[in-house]
């Protein structure tokens, strides 16, 4: 279960990975992994927003 106290961690994780994705020398496999990590964090953050409304 993810609580409100965990949202800041997921938000930070997402922002860090978005910055990493801008690194031009990353291999395609690493970029794919980063995109999956971003998608997972985004899903968690979106669900938390839906439940708070």
Average pLDDT, the chain: 92
- Confidence band for 44, pLDDT divided at 50, 70 and 90: very high
Q: In angstroms, how far apart are the furthest CA atoms of the chain?
A: 41
Burial bucket for residue 18 (CB in 10 Å: 0-12, 13-18, 19+): middle
Whole-model pTM? Answer: 0.84
Tell me the torsion sign for CA atoms 26, 28, 32, 33: negative
């Amino acid at each position: 279960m993810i609580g409100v106290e965990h949202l800041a961690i997921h938000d930070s994780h997402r922002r860090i990975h978005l910055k990493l994705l801008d690194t031009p020398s990353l291999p395609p496999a690493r970029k794919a992994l980063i995109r999956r990590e971003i998608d997972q964090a985004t899903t968690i953050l979106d669900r938390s927003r839906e439940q708070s409304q």
